[in-house]
Amino acid sequence: MERMLIGETPQHIGESVRLAGWVHIRRDHGKLIFIDLRDRSGKIQMIIVPDHVEAYEAAKGVRNEFVIDIVGKVKSRPGGAQNEKISTGNVEIEVEQLKVLAVAENVLPVEPSSDTLDVNLKTLLDNRQLSLRNAKVNAIFRIYSSMLRAYDAVLSQDGFLEIKTPKILSSATEGGANFFKVKYFDRSAYLAQSPQFYKQAGVGAFERVFEIGTVFRAEPHFTTRHVNEYTGLDAEMGFIESFSDVMDELEKTMMFIFKTFQDECAEEMALHEAQMPSIVAIPRLKLTEALQILEQQYGKKMEDGVVDIDPEGERLIGEYVKKEYGSDLVFLTHYPTVARPFYVMPNEDPQFTDSFDLLFRGLEIASGGQRIHNYADLAKNIQLHGLNPDEFKHYLDNFRFGMPPHGGWGLGSERIVQKLLGLKSVKEAILFPRDVKRLTP
């Protein structure tokens, strides 16, 4: 008999089926043994009675997280609704055969069957292999998977080509010191801080490209929103009129992702009591306007001469935009030239750039804008940033051979899920996170 998934059992009432999965909970009531079995499609209650002697004896030794294989009859559960969409909560299995495929330790460091899994972050992550089996934790990554599929789908529909760029580079992408240096045979190399240079090269060949790939940042942060390895959702598009075109495309992308959450992830969202993001036009505020709002509405003022926004300011602007516009997101635009990399297009006012950050519920999730596409202007800007153009020869070659006006973004995938579900730390939205102190499991 072929194995059936638990989610398929409601269509087989009265039939014998074979199931396999993990013991979620085992309960004894008198001489009866009840087991909730779990597989990738859901959970189902099973009952083992003494009449099925071999199955009953095998069940006596079963504990939570044992992996078992059973054969049994699907029955309507007492009091269950009878309809075409009957759920596994309305059926149960009377077990006739039971085989243990793998055992679990007597004492589990965390309990996957817990509704809350109320443990601290260190315990949660130290025991990641087991905590991922918890329904609430598991739901995070089902939502994450839906987001990745949606990102791929919407950009593919809009003519973007998916690419994969190298993560071992001969030089640091954006300069500075926040890179990991590695030994590469007889020389040094660097882990990619972003796919920026390569996705711009992709524009020269394909016009529109995107990547879902790993990014490394050697920043010694100890915050709830930073890690040293994350998955970036990048895109770059050619033949733009201005950086507004880039924001238009990113807005469309975010709305598609939110609609996907709405259509596919209602059950997972409910486990976290998460509120669906508003699907409305995203407001666009110049950074200087946002700073004025902070001062006028909240009495918050940045240091004299500083045209930038801190995490508290982002949170407050998020609250303001939600109240005034009904939006969970906001574009902050025209960041100062000194605060942006050398490849970002200067604005008509040269102290600012044609760039943006996208905030989601008060947290920056994306940064982007228009890029410099003229060879001479780019070489000059590299020098203005205190860097040597000779060290960027291969990058500059893209522009020697003709590059259209273009722009793009880098979007932090895990931060989207963090804010969507109200997770306390972005590390909860990463399967096996890496930070300053964590290299295992």
63 annotated active-site: no
Q: Which domains does the chain have, with CATH numbers?
A: 6-102 (2.40.50.140), 131-429 (3.30.930.10)
At 370 the pLDDT is: 98
Write out pLDDT tens, residues 122-142: 999 999 999 999 999 999 999
Write out pLDDT tens, residues 381-396: 999 999 999 989 999 9
CB-CB contact of 130 with 112 (8 Å)? yes
- Residue 118 pLDDT class (50, 70, 90 cuts): confident
- Identify the H or E element spanning 203: helix 196-206
CB burial of 362-391 (b: ≥16 within 10 Å; e: otherwise) equals bbbbbbbbbbbbebeebbebbeebebeeee
Place of tokens 């009449």: 51
- Whole-prediction pTM: 0.93
**Average pLDDT of the chain?**
94
Indicate if the pLDDT at residue 106 is higher than 90: no
Alpha carbons 215 and 1: distance in angstroms, whole number: 46
- Count CA atoms within 13 Å of residue 101 on its CB side: 11
Which residues, other chains included, contact 383 with Cβ-Cβ below 8 Å and sequence gap of 6+? Answer: 389
**Per-residue tokens: 394:** 């291969």
**231 phi, psi to nearest 5 deg:** -100, 115
Spot the catalytic one: 96, 174, 219, 391: 219
Over residues 8-13, the mean pLDDT reads 95
Indicate if the pLDDT at residue 355 is higher than 60: yes
**Bond into 441 cis (ω within 30):** yes
105 annotated active-site: no
364 annotated active-site: yes
Indicate if the pLDDT at residue 404 is higher than 80: yes
225 annotated active-site: yes
Indicate if the pLDDT at residue 372 is higher than 80: yes
**Total residues found in the chain within this entry:** 441
At 270 the pLDDT is: 96
Spot the catalytic one: 217, 334, 340, 373: 217
Spot the catalytic one: 229, 364, 385, 434: 364
Write out pLDDT tens, residues 260-303: 999 999 999 999 999 999 999 999 999 999 999 999 999 998 87
219 annotated active-site: yes
